[in-house]
Amino acid sequence: MPSLLQLPLRAAWRSALTPLLLALLVWWVVAWPSLTAMTSIPSVPLRAAGGGSLQMPAIGYGVGTAWFNSGGDKSKELILSVQAALDTGFRHIDDAEMYRNEVACGQAIREWLSRSGTKREDLFITNKVYEVDRGCGAVCEEMAPLDCLFCSPLRFLIHSVCTRDGKPFKTSPREAWEQMMALAKTGKVKSIGVSNWRIADLESIKDLEIQPSCNQVEAHPFLQQVGLLQYCRKRDILVSCYGPQLPVTRNFIAGSPVEAPLLAAAERTGHTVGQVLLRWAYQTGRVPLTTSSKPERMKEYLAIFGFELTPEEVAAISTAGRRASQKRGFWQSCLDYYKEDPEMEPESQE
């Protein structure tokens, strides 16, 4: 039987521990979605410029579409959105010189690292040089406000082989790639790759010492570029894709051959059409890039690694997409340039 002295002590312990236990319970409920997201995102091997490979998260958070050339309130929104994405579990951030928002993005990452205690090397940052005529190395140095640029497993890409007006740069793809190789040899970047390159462009550098780690292109069921995907696989060039959910945001789906298999897969799995599109991209061998300013959407996107499409569902979506008209959402001004490569013409959907 407890003594009269022990009873007040036990009551005091209970009074002290109860708020602490409640605080821990609240923290666990709030943190659980982020913790599960962080532990469930797979990674994919990516060729390192100096030999060997890096591990890249199999989904990335893009900061270009909604925050292009951001300033003022848009910069504040970008900072909050990037930090929310990192809180949710994203560890792969995709930025570019063209977006003109590297200062805000860098601020978001620095503040989040300080708050979370996460190491910079635990983040994977992709950046892209657009103005290759100014020199890839010079542009890379100018993007230093991102701060984590040279301190993370960085993937640095050539953004395009033509200008936004659809005209070729004065610097040829081969010359630009030689500049990227020189940059890689300084050790400032750990992986170099390309974006929006055609097979013809990749062929022009296949004899050089360092080969691209990846080719980042637009991809979804309405723009599959199967020939390009197969070519990259043979060359051990990872394909990452932007715009994987474009069929939803641009309303390509309604009335198209893709509508039925997409809706059927969404109903069977109990997930949204947007999640099914991301999962289709992942299961067809691509690393999808997505974006949102809403934390609930971010959690939804990371949840794609908690379910699978059947091989039959993947095939049905792919087949239906190849029967539909090809639709390109970005770089419309470069259509004539892309059509010079037979593997990127609409007929290549079949």
Q: Is 159 a catalytic residue?
A: yes
Q: Are strands 191-195 and 154-158 parallel, antiparallel or unpaired?
A: parallel
Q: What is the DSSP string of 251-308?
A: T--TTSTTHHHHHHHHHHHT--HHHHHHHHHHHTTEEEEE--S-HHHHHHHHGGGG--
* Dist CA 8 CA 71 (whole Å): 60
CA distances to 121, 237, 259, 304, 314 from 301, in Å: 23, 25, 20, 6, 18
Query: Taking a C-beta distance cutoff of 8 angstroms, is the pair 245, 220 a contact?
Result: yes
Residues 6 or more apart in contact with residue 203 via CB below 8 angstroms:
none
Q: Are strands 43-47 and 53-57 parallel, antiparallel or unpaired?
A: antiparallel
Q: Among the options 92, 159, 220, 271, which is catalytic?
A: 159
Nearest Cα to Cα of residue 180 among 212, 216, 147: 212
Q: Is 338 a catalytic residue?
A: no
Coil, helix or strand at residue 47: strand
Q: Among the options 61, 99, 337, 338, which is catalytic?
A: 99
Residues marked as catalytic: 99, 159
